[in-house]
Amino acid sequence: MQYEYDPDNAQRPGSPLRLLPWETWDGRPCYLAASGDGNGYLSRRADRMEEQQMHNAAVAYTDAETTLRNSSAGPLLLRLMLMRTTTSLGNTLRIADSRLGRLLAPSVPDEPDLTSE
């Protein structure tokens, strides 16, 4: 599976929806409106999938470093490694975007009262 990351439509902190690590059948992002403590079945499943994607990204990173140090690596191997690494990077960016949306929204500081002078 390959997920697309759209940096122009990143979630904002305090979002009521969680971006899930999978897409709809037609390639659109999936969101979850968590109820309760946010520890339901779909939330736990998404957490496990994100954990696996992060593990896969770490493995792809290590393999890419090894491949780049291999002076006999040909164009096909380099292309396959680049494809795997970009897929992992896309997944990692999606996870970061999802977690950004789950942060608390920043509080806006009270404006100073300029009329009391």
Burial class (CB in 10 A: 0-12, 13-18, 19+), 43: middle
pLDDT at 66 over 90: yes
- Four-point Cα dihedral 43, 48, 50, 55, nearest 10: 170
Q: pLDDT grade, residue 1 (50/70/90)?
A: very low
Mean pLDDT value across residues 88-100:
90
- Tell me: the pLDDT tens digits for 11-63? 777 778 888 999 889 988 888 987 777 788 999 999 999 999 999 999 999 99
Q: What is the pLDDT of residue 99?
A: 87
Residues 6+ apart with CB under 8 A from 82: 64
This prediction's pTM: 0.75
